[in-house]
Amino acid sequence: MKDFLPISLEEARSQGIDEFDFILISGDAYVDHPSFGSALIARLLEGAGYKVGIIPQPDMSDPESIAVLGRPRLAFLLSSGNMDSMVAHYTANKKPRSQDFYSPGGKAGFRPDRALFAYANAVRRKFKKVFLIGGGIEASLRRLSHWDYWQEKFRKSILLDAKLDLIVYGMAEKALLEVAEVLAHGGGIEELKNIRGIVYAGSKKIDEIEAKKLGLRLSYLPSFDSFKEDKKHFAKSTALRMKENDFYSAGILVEPCDTRFVVQNPPSPPLSQEEMDAVYDLPFTRKAHPVYEKSGGIPALKEVAFSITSSRGCFGSCSFCSLAFHTGRIIQSRSKESLLKEAKILTEDPDFKGYIHDLGGPTANFYHKACEKQEAGKGACLGKECLWPSPCSEIN
């Protein structure tokens, strides 16, 4: 039987682990399923040879809850979970939600508001000079200055607000494995600066010569302070961020903020089909950790327990949605053999009722790259949308 990743020292010792390389703190309950980002990232690192523990939904009223697995050798990985913690907690009318489907029994209250900020502060208080990496949807979409709907004001990058050392943004598999390798060999922030898919902070302007060494274009965004003077500066900043969001054409973005500079490297390249297959072939138990059985389990699992992820990415770029910004415009697909292998695993589950709920991804019926240009690895068209104002004639 497959083991769950440890969430306690007792479980760690039973698996022969004395010290963790990485400890992942998540705003979600621990469900060992590929639809749960924390489990996927933890399994990915485990597959690369690292010892990984998970602290799911630590109790912020108890300072020791953040330290139940001790201090990691390399870094803490922080995530609010599959959803932004404020979206998980409040309706669009800013009324508290009564349920949280990523928590035991579907009950609300197991994660704090602005979870990434809360977790980072708690870790900093308990462990001095430990490396903190933020990831997931909350970190990714707040990686640069942003308009905060809940407070109705501009906020700085969550990198600065939460005092993180690094953000690994988007679908983070490639970037995080590169970061892990650098940290494992004793490197620090200086050695990480050439990795795609990360955001870090500096105290001086990035030298354009350094950008040229990496073969990348460098663009300065309007400063955080300028947004308060004229909101058009924020509109200009947003337009530039959207433009510089394709792995093939994007350059380095630098955002001045007070006396510091937030630096966003270009996105990581999309996963190849072989890499996608490998990710979804990791040894997931596909179950919620047994600790939640008495609480009624984790409702979110019911929606995906017998579903198969076939692809990721979106070339739609709808104005109301962040999928293209978070996952990229390039569709990444799994092979037929990989999908059939997972389908067979589902049929062997004692709870399987004879049908697979769905086969797809986060977007509507996008199963492969949009056109021959994208198939050739040349990214999405710069300054053009695939579907707006009308579908491109080159769409496959």
Report pLDDT digits (tens) over 315-339: 987 888 888 889 889 999 999 999 9
Q: Is residue 300 part of a domain?
A: no
Instruction: Tell me: do 27 and 158 sit in the same domain.
Output: yes
Instruction: Tell me: do 168 and 317 sit in the same domain.
Output: no
CA distances from 27 to 55, 138, 320, 358 (A): 9, 11, 24, 26
Instruction: Tell me: do 323 and 260 sit in the same domain.
Output: no
Instruction: Tell me: do 107 and 236 sit in the same domain.
Output: yes
Task: Measure the CA–CA gap between 145 and 117, rounded to whole angstroms.
Answer: 15
Instruction: Tell me: do 34 and 132 sit in the same domain.
Output: yes
For 39-65, the pLDDT digits (tens) are: 999 999 999 999 999 999 999 999 999
Neighbours of 25 (CB within 10 A): 27
Q: Is residue 301 part of a domain?
A: no
Q: Is residue 277 part of a domain?
A: no
- For the chain, how many structural domains are there in total? 2
Query: To which residue do tokens 């040879």 refer?
Result: 49
Q: Is residue 380 part of a domain?
A: no
308 strand-pairing partners: 359
Residue 1 has pLDDT above 80, yes or no: no
- State residue 83's pLDDT score: 94
Instruction: Tell me: do 167 and 32 sit in the same domain.
Output: yes
Q: Is residue 297 part of a domain?
A: no
Could you please report the per-residue DSSP string of 309-366? Answer: E-EE--S---TT--HHHHH-SS-EE--HHHHHHHHHHHHTSTT--S---EEE-SSTT-
Instruction: Tell me: do 256 and 311 sit in the same domain.
Output: no
Q: Is residue 88 part of a domain?
A: yes
pLDDT band for position 203 (cuts 50, 70, 90): confident
Q: Is residue 387 part of a domain?
A: no
Token couple for 6? 């440890």
CA distances from 249 to 206, 217, 265, 268, 344 (A): 19, 9, 12, 12, 39
Instruction: Tell me: do 327 and 244 sit in the same domain.
Output: no
Q: Is residue 175 part of a domain?
A: yes
Instruction: Tell me: do 253 and 367 sit in the same domain.
Output: no
Which residue range forms the structural domain that includes residue 323?
306-375
| CATH code, domain with 204 | 3.40.50.280
- State residue 211's pLDDT score: 72
Instruction: Tell me: do 254 and 130 sit in the same domain.
Output: yes
Percentage of the chain modeled with pLDDT above 90: 80
Instruction: Tell me: do 13 and 91 sit in the same domain.
Output: yes
267: which DSSP letter?
P
